């Protein structure tokens, strides 16, 4: 991927981001348009389009991403009151950036899981 992908460019240091944690294989940085007092994106450095591709392609890396998310949640003081970790995927999921990223949201009550009931 590389130059066509916004988050690959953040990994490469070509686009600035507020990085809160980095491992050999993952990166966590603050969302540019936060939807909660804490809103951090956690990505694998390697490009996978979405969580299905990551989970099927490299389950160990998916686990490392979860470990980074948990460490950030602890650093941000979210373990006591809780948080939400989500992967928007594809058209129905509202995914806008096609480099897999977990949204870590917390710091206030987050309300219902969905804005409206679509069942
Ligand atoms: P999604 O709709 O799940 O693909 O979410 C993409 C997220 O990326 C949104 O919450 C955006 O605010 C966020 N975003 C877009 N560009 C940047 C950037 N340059 N740095 C940090 N977050 C970004
Ligand atoms: Zn990418």
- The two structure tokens encoding residue 7: 């988050």
**Which of 41, 49, 54 to mutate for ligand 1's pocket (most ligand atoms within 8 Å of CB)?**
41
Assess whether pLDDT exceeds 70 at residue 34.
yes
Backbone angles phi, psi at 37, to 5 degrees: -55, -35
**Residues 6 or more apart whose Cβ sits within 8 Å of residue 57:** 48
Buried-state track 97-118, b at ≥16 Cβ within 10 A, e below 16: ebbbbbbbbbeeeeeeeeeeee
pTM as predicted:
0.97
Ligand 1 neighbours (beta carbon < 6 A): 6, 15, 17, 31-33, 41, 88, 94-97
Q: Residue 2: what pLDDT?
A: 65
Q: What is the per-residue pLDDT across 37-53, written as a single tens digit (0 to 9) for each? A: 999 999 999 999 999 99
H helix runs in 12-107, sequence order: 51-57, 59-75, 90-93
Known catalytic residues are 101
């Amino acid at each position: 991927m590389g130059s066509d992908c916004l988050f690959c460019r953040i990994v490469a240091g070509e686009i600035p981001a507020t990085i809160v944690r980095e491992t050999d294989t993952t990166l966590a940085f603050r969302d540019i348009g936060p939807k909660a007092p804490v809103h951090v994106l956690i990505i694998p450095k390697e490009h996978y389009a979405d969580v299905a591709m990551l989970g099927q392609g490299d389950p160990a890396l998916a686990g490392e991403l979860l470990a980074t998310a948990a460490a950030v949640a602890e650093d941000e003081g979210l373990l006591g009151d809780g948080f939400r970790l989500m992967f928007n995927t594809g058209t129905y999921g509202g995914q806008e950036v096609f480099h897999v990223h977990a949204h870590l949201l917390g710091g206030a009550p987050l309300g219902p899981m969905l804005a409206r009931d679509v069942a």
